[in-house]
A and B are shown apart, each in its own frame.
Chain A
Amino acid sequence: MLLFIIRRLFFAIVLLIAVSVFTYFLFALLPTDPAALSCGIHCKPETIAANRIRLGYDKSIFEQYWLFLKGIFVGRDYGIGTAAFTCPAPSLGYSFNQHACVTSLIGETFPVTAYLSIGAFILWMMIGIGVGAIAALNKGKWQDRLATAFASVGVSLPTFYFGLLALFSIVIWFQILPFPSYESPLDNFPAFITAMILPWLVLAIISAASYTRLTRNGMLEAMNEDFVRLGVAKGLRLRVILRRYVMRQALIPIVTIAGLDFAGLLGGAIITESVFSLPGMGRMSIRAVVDSDLPVLVGTTMIAAVFIVLANVIVDIAYGFLDPRVRVS
């Protein structure tokens, strides 16, 4: 088992290095000149050249990549003399657009994304599993039909459109909530909740839809298993059978997928954050795309990839514990 975990972790690290190489080279080879972008339109060629050296873009791409990797572990210095500054480890580069180290930018925006993801995750698991369980227990009845309709419509709603409609209807047309303006929960908790409730719900409803179906089908399948039959034959109470046998069996794959989906969100809920103007990593990424802010893009892509790969490793290891056959392959 230990060997299995080590192997998975080793593989994850190799994968992340590969991702970093691809990301870095992909963005570095784009036809944009970061040095020219760093000082606006009316820029003297000398300033561009100086900036190029200051930001390290005068070096070969391999050297730049090496400095980028090194920066993650030991931090990185930019410039010389009085203009010198340091991005401490782990440094993911320096954004000339925002005049800040990428790591600190991510540090500022990540909590917002995390609050959004965690709140939405709790809601969507409750809605998804709850509605799915009701559907499974009432198979073929109106509750089941309603749940199936909810699942189909929810899956089909594009996030941006649903988010916009929610925003316009609740905030502008019916004025139930004030326009969401983000506040840190540490400063002003009620304002934080007011700003987050709509994005949470939108993200939760859209994500819950597919979980409704997974739960329903998983439970129906589990109800067909022999061990459930045995439980019924033994005369166990329905509640006990459901909780101990059916739910446990049905939830394992759901928790797996949920873990992967959650990790995907942590990398930035791009659309939701943009629609509701939440200052999270996703919105920062969009802004970086518009501004051609390559260091920020490389940074957010890397962070998102770390979450995805990490979630996969955790899921793999969890399966290794649950199912010995997985360890061998």
Chain B
Amino acid sequence: MSTFAELDHDDVVIATEIVGKSPRELAWMRFRKDKVAMFAVAVIATYVVVALFAPVICALLGISPTRLDGAALNDYGLPNGPFGNISFEHLLGVEPGTGRDILARLLYGARVSLMVGFIATFLTTTIGVVLGVVAGYKRGRIDAVISRMTDLTLAFPSFLLIIALTRPFTQRLEAIGVPEGNPARLTYIVLVLSLFGWVYVARVVRGQTLSLREREFVEAARSCGASNSHIIFKELLPNLWAPVIVIVSLSLPGYVSTEATLSFLGLGMIAPAASWGVMLGDSVKYYRSDPTYLFIPGIALIVLVLAFNIVGDAVRDALDPKGDRQNLL
């Protein structure tokens, strides 16, 4: 970070001598100029902090995601006050039927969404990069096997399979010792998202590796007697990070969204665990009597996904600035 600070945009303008910058520094400069993206980064950071400190925040506000508050409900099980009983006691109101605090459940729900998003992204990236580099670098038979695996994975209707395999595979996970209920369900979602997601990373990485391995600097390294691992880790990987970051930052919001969709359908997390999808699935029952409940988790979800998408776009623009050139028309 300190090197970036030295290369502040203003300094560069003042300095008359030409300062050499690595592509990484150029990309970072372009990214920082994008105010919307910086705001989106701040939004994501807020979500992460709030999710990490959910128990602390709940304790400070005196709320709990599981405590039932019957006093906040009327005789019909609906929130007492207007707008889902939004009050000082319950800042975003309470759930109809149970009287659980919505803010507390949102905070804990953020943990689920972010955890699924980050872990699935980590797994898909790791698997995709490893298999993609191996396929592109080794070529031949290994490449053929990995490429056929990607073809096969892409031929399946992934969402249908994810839904269809939920119940049996969750049971199987429980049978091999994953704690029953939501931990098993969460594990399944992460695993199955990774199973279908690595392909996209691997394809991009393989294509890049195929062309990179023919370049002069790789040939130079090889002629100096560099080992395969040296070439892969020191020569190829540093040149692959840009496309990988682009594809990763654009797929992460998709994972968050899919988790919410599955939980909404009753196939992901289940109550009393807090997940935005679960809350949305529950809120549908009260769309007439308590519409506020329908909007709060939905807005939380859309804002997070939107922020990730904006950052993803900005990262891509920063790393591949073709659009920056002057246009003739």
Which residues of chain B have C-beta atoms less than 8 A from A173's C-beta? 291
Interchain CB contact under 8 A, A228 and B156: no
**Interface assignment of A280: CB less than 8 Å from any CB of chain B:** no
Q: Label chain A's interface by main secondary structure.
A: helix
Which residues of chain A have C-beta atoms less than 8 A from B302's C-beta? 153, 156-158, 161
From A158, A168, A246, A274, give the contact of B287 (CB < 8 A): A168
Interchain CB contact under 8 A, A158 and B151: no
Interchain CB contact under 8 A, B155 and A152: no
Interchain CB contact under 8 A, B327 and A168: no
**Cα distance A178–B53 in the bound complex, in angstroms:** 46
**Interface assignment of A89: CB less than 8 Å from any CB of chain B:** no
A230-250 residues with Cβ-Cβ distance < 8 A to B are 232, 238, 241-242, 246
Interchain CB contact under 8 A, A152 and B309: yes
**Interface assignment of A194: CB less than 8 Å from any CB of chain B:** no
Interchain CB contact under 8 A, A308 and B152: no
**Interface assignment of B225: CB less than 8 Å from any CB of chain A:** no
Which residues of chain A have C-beta atoms less than 8 A from B157's C-beta? 264, 267-268, 300-301, 304-305, 308
Question: In the complex, what's the smallest C-beta–C-beta distance from A1 to chain B, in angstroms?
Answer: 22
Produce 1/0 per residue, B62-73, CB < 8 A to A. 000000000000
Question: In the complex, what's the smallest C-beta–C-beta distance from B217 to chain A, in angstroms?
Answer: 24
Which residues of chain B have C-beta atoms less than 8 A from A23's C-beta? 156
Question: In the complex, what's the smallest C-beta–C-beta distance from A54 to chain B, in angstroms?
Answer: 24
Interchain CB contact under 8 A, B160 and A152: no
Interchain CB contact under 8 A, B261 and A18: no
**Cα distance A312–B172 in the bound complex, in angstroms:** 34
Interchain CB contact under 8 A, A285 and B152: no
Q: A18-B152, A264-B157 are in contact. Are A152 and B306 (CB under 8 A)?
A: yes
From A137, A155, A304, give the contact of B329 (CB < 8 A): A137
**Interface assignment of B141: CB less than 8 Å from any CB of chain A:** no
Produce 1/0 per residue, A279-313, CB < 8 A to B. 00010011011000000010011001100110010
**Cα distance A157–B256 in the bound complex, in angstroms:** 11
**Interface assignment of A177: CB less than 8 Å from any CB of chain B:** no
**Cα distance A62–B117 in the bound complex, in angstroms:** 39
Q: A15-B151, A22-B152, A164-B284 are in contact. Are A270 and B328 (CB under 8 A)?
A: no
**Which of B123-131, B163-171, B232-240 forms part of the interface with chain A?**
B163-171
Produce 1/0 per residue, A210-254, CB < 8 A to B. 000100010011011000110010000010011000100000000
Q: A26-B165, A31-B171 are in contact. Are A158 and B257 (CB under 8 A)?
A: yes
Question: In the complex, what's the smallest C-beta–C-beta distance from B182 to chain A, in angstroms?
Answer: 20
Interchain CB contact under 8 A, B261 and A158: yes
Interchain CB contact under 8 A, A153 and B306: yes
**Interface assignment of B39: CB less than 8 Å from any CB of chain A:** no
Chain A: residues with CB nearer than 8 A to chain B? 15-16, 18-19, 22-23, 26-27, 30-32, 137, 139, 152-153, 155-161, 164-165, 168, 172-173, 213, 217, 220-221, 223-224, 228-229, 232, 238, 241-242, 246, 264, 267-268, 270-271, 274, 282, 285-286, 288-289, 297, 300-301, 304-305, 308-309, 312
What are 25 pairs between A and B in contact, CB < 8 Å? A15-B151, A23-B156, A27-B164, A31-B172, A139-B327, A156-B302, A158-B302, A161-B280, A164-B280, A165-B298, A213-B313, A217-B323, A223-B327, A264-B157, A267-B160, A268-B157, A282-B160, A285-B163, A285-B164, A289-B166, A297-B160, A300-B160, A301-B160, A301-B161, A312-B154
Chain B: residues with CB nearer than 8 A to chain A? 151-152, 154-157, 159-161, 163-168, 171-172, 253, 257, 260-261, 264-265, 280, 284, 287-288, 291, 294, 298, 301-302, 305-306, 308-310, 313, 322-323, 325, 327-329
